[in-house]
Each structure stands twice: as C-alpha cells, then as structure tokens.
C-alpha cells in the first residue's frame, strides 16, 4: 500500500539512495562475490599462487571429519540454546502477564542481558564457573559434580549453551510479552466461560495463538546461535577443548584467519550463506502465509 | 429453574470510580431481561459481574438461588455472546462449538449430536468445517450463539451482540434471537444501547443511567408510564417532548398536578390541528413549523414554540410547510408530568 | 476475573523473582567482584556482598599507570567503543532513512531493483563475509581505523526496511497537502517526515547502539593495534585463566564499565526500544 502520491523529482532519488547503495556494493556485494570466487580457489602451500579448482574445496570441506563435527556441534548448540532461551522466556512472559501488579518493574529488570555483549556474557559465566576461582563451580564441586569446562567437552558445551541462552532470554521475553498482549482479552474470557481453567486455557487457546511469534523467534534464535555467538565461543572456549565447541562460524574464522586456508574457509562461508538464505526464505514464506486471525 | 437475582450490587474501581451504585433486579426463570442505557451507565459492567468476569464490590448475585459472588465464570454454568463474537480463530466452527462441552468431559457422540443439532437450527451445518475468518459477520454471530446454546447453560448473557451488524441484518437477527430464546426457555440477560432492540426483545426491561436503575418493568409499561424524564426521553423514538412549565409556553386547560415542573408528551400522541376545537384538559400549543421530515408512512414536524423545540408526528404526507403556524393538541390522558427531581408525578 | 487463585498469583510472582535473580545474578556477581581485592577473588567462594575496594579498584582501572593491555587505559577503550557504537547507529540511521525515503516517495527506473539489492543484505550477517571484507579493508587502508570499524557494519538493510514499512503507513494526503503548501521534497522530509519518525528513530538508535557496542568478531579482525581496541575485545585479551597474572579485580571493573553504558541506554529508552523491537518483527 504505497502512497500513490510522490514527488516529481527525477534526479534526487538517486542521490538519496546512493550512500546506502555505495556502502552495500563495496562492503557487501563485492566481498560476497569475492567469497564465492575465493571458495573455488586453492592456494599452493606457500600461499604464492592460487589455482581455480571449481568445487574441489567444497568436496574437501564436506568430507572433513572436523567439519562434520562442527555441523553436529552447531546443531546441538543451536537447538539447545533456542530451546532453553525460548522456554524460559515463555514461562517468564506468561507469569509476567499473570500478575496484576509490577509488570513494568519486572519487564525493566528482564531487559538487562540484551545490553550485554555475548562475549562478555561468556566471560562472566566462565568466571562464575571456572573450576579454580568460580563460586558456582565450587558449589557444583560440593554437590559432587566433577565440573571442569576446561577439560571436559560436555561441560564446556553446557557452559556456552547456558551463557548464550541467558543472553537471549530478554529478547525472547519481550516478544513473547508482546505476543501475549496481542491476544484479545475476550477470547480468554470466552474460554473461561466455556469451562476452561487456567492451564487448559493456556494450552488450548494462548499457545496456539502464539504460534506466529514462536516461529519467528525460532528463526531469530537459530540465526543468533549460528552467528552472534561467535564471541561467546571465542572468548570462553576457543572452540575447545578438542573441538567440542567448534561451531561452523568459528571454524570459518579459525581456518581462514588463524590457519590461513583461504579458499577452504571461503567455501565454508558459502555453505553458511546457503544455510542462512534458506532459513530466511522459510521465514519470509511463512510470514507471507501468516494467518490473520479474527 | 434458573432465576437471576441481583441484590444491591455495587462495583467500585480503584477505590474511587463507582461504575454501579447499588442495583437490585429479580429476573424470573425463562425471561429475557434487557439492560438498556447510554454509554457508561454501567450495564456492561453489571453483565460482566453476572458472568463472573468482574469482581463484585458489594451486594450479592444469585443464580438459581445460589449466591455466586465467589464462584468464577468457569463454574457458573452460564454462556455469553460477546460484541465481537470472540470466536477461537484457530479452530473450525465445529470445534468452536464443541470446546465448552469437551472441557466438561461430555462424551464424544453426545457432543457431536448436540453440535450438529444446534448447527442445523442456526443454519450453520454447511459451515462446520470453516474457520471464523472465512465467515461473514452474520455467520460469525450465529456461531457465537451456537457456542452458547450447545451447552444448555442456566443463563444466557448477551453483550451488545448486534452492534457490529448492518441495520438490515440487525433487524433479522433480533427476531431470530427472540424466537430462539422463547423456544429454548433459557433465562437471559441482554445488554444494548439501542432502545428499539430493548423494546422488542425484552420481557423485563431495565433502564439504567449513571450506575443506577431508573426503571424496571415490561417494555410497554415503561413506554406508557416512564418513571422519570430520563426514561421518558430515552425510550421512544423520536424522544418525548419535554417542556418546562415555568416557561409559560405550555398552555393547558387542565391544571398540572401539585409539584409538577415539567410537562411531557410524545410526538405520536400529539396532533397538528388547524381548527381550534380542543378536548377538555388537553394541551394546546401554538407553534411555528421549522422543518418537515417525510419518512414515507409518517412525517415528523419539527416545530418551535417560543424557545422550545418540539416534534409532532403525523400520518402519511404532511400538509404543513415550514413557516406555517399550527396548534398542536395533546389529549390530557397522554400528558406526562414530572417534578423538580425529574420523577413522575 | 473471579476465581483467579491467589496461590497461583503467588507462584507467578515467585517464578518472576527467580527469573530476575537468574537474569541479574551474573551482573551482580561481576559488580561484587569488582569491589574486592585480587586475593579475595582468588580464594573462592566469593562473598555475596560487595567489598570495600570500590573506589580503589575503579580508580586504578581508570587512572592507574600500567594499563593492562599494552598500556592502553580504560578511557581510550571506552572512547573507541563509544565512537564505534555511535558511528554505527547514526551512520546506519542516516543512510537508511534517506534510501527508504527515496524508495517510498519517489518513482524512478530501477527503483525496485535498488530495493531488492538492499533487501538481500538482510540475509547475510557480517560473519559470513569476514575474509573478503577484511581484504577490502586492507586494500582501502582501513585497518585500525574508526571507518574500518564502522562501515561494513552499516551495510545491512534492517533499518531501511523498518523505515520503509513506517513510511508506507503515512497517508498520501499528507504529501499532497505539503505540495499544495509549496513544500519541496527536502522541506517535507525535515518538517514533516522526520518529526513523525521520531519514535522509530529512537528505537532504532537503541538497537543499533547496542549492536555496535557488543560487536566482537569484526573489531577483533580489523584492529591490530591495542590503541584501537574496543572494550569488549580488550576484556578478552585481559583474561587468561591459565595465567596467574590476570588482575581479576581490574578485569571485573572493566567488565562493569563495558556493561553499564549499554544497560543505561536500554533502561532509559526502554519504551521506544521495546516498541521498536516488536514492530520490527514484521
């Protein structure tokens, strides 16, 4: 529904779009194109010459055990983070809607983690759970859990999942609260009159009507877990111990910047691009079909 | 037996705002009681208190003889039709109607029987598999009613269910609701701001204003003997003409009763007369015609008598034209007198 | 509604309080740690109440002689981070609002092409194009510069989309009235459009400021000199769990300083921020 009324200027619009277009071309399309091109090059061992090898890099990437490992790590990490972050946020949002007083107070206090850099969140959690000086680690030891994220791969994974989920809770919370408030009060009243108690009302009316929000957050949380969590991984575990927390994006960084396997890393970037585009496409398709209730 | 009794019910918001100031109504079994009044008079609040959607600040509400103040809407065995229908958007029509029965653990075949029977009565049987967003306003309204009917509740509650429909549909649905309620025999409370709906639907009419009940009674009784100037001008369209006696504009050959300060007569009870024959005790008012509204079967003459404005109804086409001078005559038995406080004398 | 069990209300409050504790605890813990001596920290468990070293620690971190990472004081770090965050927020808002304005209020050939070109950038966050973007920066000589920190991060389209969405809800009559009143496109933009967009701009500012402040991967790559580090990166460099030299109490102070400004921004501008976040869903 564009306003049918426009200004007649013919040159001005180009001038207005120019800055963004310029930046986009130079810092987005050109590098993206480069990444595509680079993914099909292979450097010789001395890094002096490169050869055009078509999809050879891709073949090597997809057959490398470490890459398959990072796919597994990423999937586990994303699913766990999204699940924890979303369910905790949903629970808190429902409770926040339920109380009569103090909604604003609770909401303000829930927002903090959004402002914290993921990397810092990771470091703080590591600090709390560090086997030698972390207070919470001491608590775990006292209970009898042999907690050591520096040596145990599973412990490390748990730590980054907790840190990543913690940070996402506020974002999800805000969206869930908005989604809950969008449900007309009369629907809840009608359900109550129809004999549904609080719990039943939640599962039969509220939760289904939250579906668009839930789906949206699922995609957002997944993209978050795929990319924004680089900081957490890098700051806390460095992908270790023993690659147990090496996610796809971390591997791109590691192979490209640390190990300087440029073509190889570029191929991984391209694969990541394809994954993200598919996810975004799914989201937009779903949003197009988005059900408008009532 | 499902009577609804309100005894001195009050609703106070946030310690200060009194939405309902002490209302007592007794609704016998199987009757349709209409709460009518202008916006903000407290009728919806009262309905919601009967439903259990609002807490009761003082007084008691009893359904079927049992006080229900502390009982939630889930357990009150009532059904409600909302103004915006409140249909569950993610469920098909069938499930919308079955929801309440499922929650109460009714066996599946019983649910199916009732839903289909109700759908048939309301002409919804071909729509059972549709979702609410695929239905028209009138169809949604019927589903909302079907959802209420299928549960065989003790009381039906209606919260301005026809406001969102166009005029023609409203007229049709009015008759349908009336017939349905009569055939089902369920005690009902119906809220509306439309006095026409109120008059045609009610067995018992309750006129409310500013949180209080102005008058309770059968519609025609209220029409013929309004208890206050508020009721007099609210019920009946066009509204009753009210003239202040002190003005001197009203001239009558009968003496007003003691304490009367205002005189009222309905447009349809007066007549424009060109001759000067006046029955005993009638009101005779010289007026100047300002405008004529021909509606077809009747015409309304808007006239002025000094600083007062009055409306007179004449049958068919009016002979008068703007600028004409007339005598308006209203017979003595059709005159209403009101005192200083606006109450009937 | 009658029948809301008071017990359940109590549970709701309890869950919320628990949630707040979980959410606030790490930050509180960091604050407490920043007010104790190094020795206290090295001997866990850390006491739950703040210690007495608040002024001493903060003074040392802010003004102390020996910076912890190559002689760079916290002041410089904060400055860098602020410049970066502000640059990204302001830069992105500016170019996006202009583009959205052009796309919505003008008709010109290639209009939709430009729109799609910008729109596609939504799909690929910077992490996916790090290597080649880095190369571009090297080629332009933008390593270790503020421009290098800022420019690649304003290339994506979220803000443009938001503005476009908002502009499309502006009734055409407003433009007509402006034109009848003799206002050209610039006057319309400054006198009418901008004031109307205030809330959107405020919300976007908060979101983008946070986005810029919390950046990690990109500043990591583009800054070699310690002088240009953001406080987030510097923090990482300060922390080494294996190295007994880590000045934990000062690390905690730095962490607090890295967290507090964005939290302040979010809390103070809460209302706009929440609305902007939720509206941008569409």
- Residue C67 clears pLDDT 60, i.e. is over it: no
pLDDT band at B177 (very low <50, low <70, confident <90, very high): very high
Higher pLDDT, B228 or C271: B228
**Residues with Cβ < 8 Å from C146, sequence gap 6 or more?**
C80, C83, C84, C87, C228
pLDDT per residue as tens digits for the range A29-54: 888 888 888 788 877 666 666 777 77
Any C CB within 8 A of A273 CB? yes
Angle at C149 (CA atoms; ends C146, C154), nearest 5 degrees: 115
Instruction: Classify strands B78-81 and B155-159 as parallel, antiparallel or unpaired.
Output: parallel
- Residue A26 clears pLDDT 50, i.e. is over it: yes
Reading phi first (left if > 0) and then psi (alpha if -120 to 50, else beta), residue B210 is in left
Tokens coding A119: 């990397």
Q: Report chain A's mean pLDDT, rounded to a whole number.
A: 83
Which residue of chain C comes nearest to A13, CA vs CA?
Answer: C102
CB B327 within 8 A of CB B272: yes
* Partners of chain C (3+ Cβ pairs below 8 A): A, B
Task: Report how many Cβ contacts below 8 Å link chain A to chain C.
Answer: 305
Side-chain-side CA neighbours of residue B100 (13 Å): 31
How far CA B169 is from CA of A85, A290, B94, B160, B161, in Å, comes to: 50, 31, 23, 14, 12
- Which residues on C lie below 8 Å from B52 (Cβ)? 1-3
Mutate to test the interface with A, among C178, C181, C217, C269 (most CBs of A within 10 A): C217
Q: Which pLDDT value is given to residue A1?
A: 44
User: What sign has the CA pseudo-torsion C14, C18, C24, C29?
Assistant: positive
pLDDT per residue as tens digits for the range B206-264: 999 999 999 999 999 999 999 999 999 899 889 998 888 766 655 665 677 877 888 88
pLDDT band at B27 (very low <50, low <70, confident <90, very high): very high
pLDDT per residue as tens digits for the range B301-321: 999 887 888 899 988 888 888
Q: Which pLDDT value is given to residue B228?
A: 92
- Residue B298 clears pLDDT 70, i.e. is over it: yes
Any A CB within 8 A of B55 CB? no
How far CA C262 is from CA of A111, A120, A234, A238, in Å, comes to: 11, 13, 22, 26
Q: Which pLDDT value is given to residue C282?
A: 45
Distance CA A268, CA C266 (A): 36
Task: Report how many Cβ contacts below 8 Å link chain A to chain B.
Answer: 69
- Residue B148 clears pLDDT 90, i.e. is over it: yes
Q: Which range (A40-44, A158-162, B111-115, B125-129) has the least confidence?
A: A40-44
Q: Report chain B's mean pLDDT, rounded to a whole number.
A: 89
* Residue % of chain A over a pLDDT of 90: 13
Shortest CA gap B291–chain A (Å): 44
Residue B15 exposed, middle or buried by CB count within 10 Å (0-12, 13-18, 19+): exposed
Q: Which range (A35-44, A189-198, A241-250, C184-193) has the least confidence?
A: A35-44
In this complex, which of B69, B70, B72 lies closest to C1 when CB atoms are compared? B72
Any A CB within 8 A of B306 CB? no
Distance CA C190, CA C148 (A): 30
Give alpha helix (H) positions in chain B: 43-51, 93-103, 108-121, 137-149, 167-184, 195-201, 219-224, 229-234
Higher pLDDT, A119 or A190: A190
Which residue of chain A comes nearest to C134, CA vs CA?
Answer: A31
* Three state DSSP letters for B244-269: EHHHCCCEECCCCCCCEEEEEECHHH
Mutate to test the interface with A, among C128, C188, C270, C273 (most CBs of A within 10 A): C128
Q: Which pLDDT value is given to residue A293?
A: 37
- Residue A291 clears pLDDT 60, i.e. is over it: no
Q: Do A99 and C19 touch (CB under 8 A)?
A: no
Q: Do A230 and C131 touch (CB under 8 A)?
A: no
Q: Do C131 and A234 touch (CB under 8 A)?
A: no
Tokens coding B41: 């008079």
pLDDT per residue as tens digits for the range C146-190: 888 888 888 877 888 888 888 888 888 888 888 888 888 888 889
> C142-154 b/e with 16+ CB inside 10 Å = b?
beeeeebbbbbbb
């Amino acid at each position: 529904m564009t306003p049918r009324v426009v200004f007649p200027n013919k040159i001005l619009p180009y001038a207005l779009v120019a800055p963004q277009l310029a930046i986009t071309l130079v810092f987005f399309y050109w590098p993206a194109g480069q990444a595509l091109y680079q993914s099909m090059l292979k450097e010789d061992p001395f890094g002096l010459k490169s050869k055009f090898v078509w999809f050879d890099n891709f073949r090597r990437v997809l057959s490398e055990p470490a890459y398959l490992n990072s796919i597994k790590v990423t999937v586990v990490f994303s699913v766990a983070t999204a699940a924890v972050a979303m369910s905790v946020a949903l629970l808190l949002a429902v409770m926040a809607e339920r109380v009569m007083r103090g909604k604003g107070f609770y909401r303000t206090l829930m927002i903090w983690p959004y402002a914290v850099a993921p990397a810092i969140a990771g470091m703080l959690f590591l600090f709390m759970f560090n086997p030698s000086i972390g207070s919470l680690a001491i608590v775990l030891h006292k209970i009898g859990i042999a907690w050591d994220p520096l040596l145990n791969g599973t412990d490390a994974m748990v730590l980054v999942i907790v840190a990543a989920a913690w940070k996402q809770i506020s974002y999800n919370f805000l969206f869930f609260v908005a989604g809950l408030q969008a449900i007309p009060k009369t629907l809840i009243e009608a359900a109550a009159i129809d004999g549904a108690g609080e719990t039943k009302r939640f599962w039969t009316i509220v939760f289904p009507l939250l579906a668009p929000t839930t789906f949206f957050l699922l995609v957002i949380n997944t993209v978050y877990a795929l990319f924004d969590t680089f900081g957490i991984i890098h700051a806390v575990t460095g992908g270790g111990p023993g690659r147990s927390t090496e996610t796809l994006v971390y591997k791109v960084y590691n192979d490209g910047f640390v190990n300087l396997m440029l073509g190889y890393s570029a191929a991984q970037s391209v694969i990541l691009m394809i994954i993200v585009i598919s996810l975004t496409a799914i989201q937009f398709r779903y949003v197009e079909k988005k059900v408008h209730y009532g | 037996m499902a009577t609804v009794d309100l005894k001195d019910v009050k609703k106070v918001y946030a310690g200060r705002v009194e939405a309902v100031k002490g209302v007592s109504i007794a609704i016998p079994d199987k009757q349709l009681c209409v709460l009518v009044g202008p916006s903000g008079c407290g009728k919806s609040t009262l309905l919601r208190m009967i439903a259990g959607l609002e807490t009761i600040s003082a007084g008691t509400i009893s359904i079927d003889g049992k006080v229900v103040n502390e009982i939630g809407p889930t357990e009150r065995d009532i059904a409600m039709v909302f103004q915006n229908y409140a249909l569950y958007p993610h469920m098909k029509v069938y499930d919308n109607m079955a929801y309440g029965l499922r929650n109460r653990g009714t066996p599946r075949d019983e649910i199916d029987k009732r839903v289909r029977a109700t759908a048939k009565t309301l002409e919804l049987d071909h729509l059972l598999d549709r979702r609410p967003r695929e239905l028209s306003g009138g169809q949604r309204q019927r589903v909302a009613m079907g959802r209420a009917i299928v549960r065989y509740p003790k009381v039906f509650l209606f919260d301005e269910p026809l406001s969102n429909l166009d005029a023609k549909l409203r007229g049709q649905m009015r008759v349908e609701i009336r017939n349905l309620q009569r055939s089902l025999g369920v005690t009902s409370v119906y809220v509306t701001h439309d006095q026409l709906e109120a008059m045609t639907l009610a067995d018992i009419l309750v006129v409310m204003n500013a949180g209080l009940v102005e008058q309770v009674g059968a519609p025609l009784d209220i029409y013929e003997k309004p208890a206050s100037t508020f009721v007099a001008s609210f019920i009946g369209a066009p509204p009753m003409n009210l003239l202040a006696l002190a003005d001197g504009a009203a001239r009558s050959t009968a003496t007003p009763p003691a304490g009367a300060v205002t005189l009222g007569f309905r447009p349809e009870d007066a007549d424009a007369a060109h001759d000067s024959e006046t029955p005993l005790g009638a009101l005779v008012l010289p007026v100047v015609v300002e405008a004529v509204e021909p509606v077809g079967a009747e015409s309304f003459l808007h006239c002025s008598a000094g600083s007062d404005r009055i409306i007179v109804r004449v049958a068919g086409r009016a002979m008068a034209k703007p600028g004409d001078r007339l005598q308006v005559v209203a017979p003595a038995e059709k005159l209403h007198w009101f005192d200083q406080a606006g109450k009937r004398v | 509604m009658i029948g809301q069990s008071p017990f359940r209300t109590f549970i709701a409050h309890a869950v919320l309080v628990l949630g707040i504790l979980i959410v606030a605890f790490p930050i509180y813990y960091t604050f407490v740690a920043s007010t104790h001596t190094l020795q206290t920290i090295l001997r866990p468990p850390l006491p739950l109440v703040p210690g007495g070293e608040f002024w001493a620690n903060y003074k040392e971190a802010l003004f102390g002689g020996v910076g912890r990472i190559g002689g760079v004081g916290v002041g410089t770090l904060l400055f860098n981070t602020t410049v970066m965050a502000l640059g990204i927020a302001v830069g992105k808002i500016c170019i996006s609002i202009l583009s959205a304005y052009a796309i919505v209020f003008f008709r010109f050939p290639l209009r939709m092409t430009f729109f799609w070109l910008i729109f596609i950038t939504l799909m690929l966050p910077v992490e996916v194009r790090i290597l080649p973007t880095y190369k571009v920066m090297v080629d332009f000589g933008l390593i270790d510069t503020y421009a290098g920190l800022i420019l690649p991060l304003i290339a994506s389209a979220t803000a443009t989309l938001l503005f476009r969405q908002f502009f499309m809800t502006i009734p055409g009559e407003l433009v007509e009235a402006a034109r009848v009143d003799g206002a050209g496109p610039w006057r319309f933009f400054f006198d009418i459009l901008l004031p109307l967009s205030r809330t959107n701009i405020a919300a976007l500012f908060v979101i983008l400021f946070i986005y810029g402040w919390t950046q990690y991967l990109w500043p990591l790559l583009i800054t070699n000199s310690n002088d240009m580090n953001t406080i987030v990166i510097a923090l990482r460099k300060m922390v080494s769990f294996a190295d007994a030299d880590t000045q934990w109490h000062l690390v905690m102070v730095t962490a607090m300083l890295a967290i507090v400004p964005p939290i302040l921004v979010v809390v103070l501008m809460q209302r706009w921020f929440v609305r902007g976040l939720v509206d941008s869903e569409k």
